Amino acid sequence: MKTDVQLQQDVIAVLKRERSVKGADIGVEVKEGNVTLIGTVKSWAERDLALLCAWGAPGIRNIAHKLIVTN
């Protein structure tokens, strides 16, 4: 099982690889395998894509968000 720090690094890496959310201001917090995305995105589609991408990191138990859509 991965540590929270490893999961955080994995989610950050997945988000950085996705061109559509690359410029978004998204922070990642992980506690006991539960991920929270925090920050701002430019659209609802960008928010949804960020959430979908985060699931691409193996070992995630749950994903929540505190993402604010600015447009």
Per DSSP, the three-state class of 27 is: strand
Task: For residue range 2-61, list pLDDT tens digits in order.
Answer: 999 999 999 999 999 988 887 789 999 999 999 999 999 999 999 999 999 999 889 999
Q: Where are the domains of the chain?
A: 4-69
pTM given for the model? 0.90
Ramachandran area for residue 16 (φ above 0: left; ψ -120 to 50: alpha; else beta):
alpha
Q: Please report the pLDDT score of residue 26 as a whole number.
A: 94
Q: Please report the pLDDT score of residue 19 as a whole number.
A: 87
Q: Which CATH number fits domain 4-69: 1.10.10.10, 3.40.50.150, 3.30.1340.30, 3.40.190.10?
A: 3.30.1340.30
Q: Among 60, 45, 44, 61, which residue's Cα sits nearest to residue 12?
A: 60
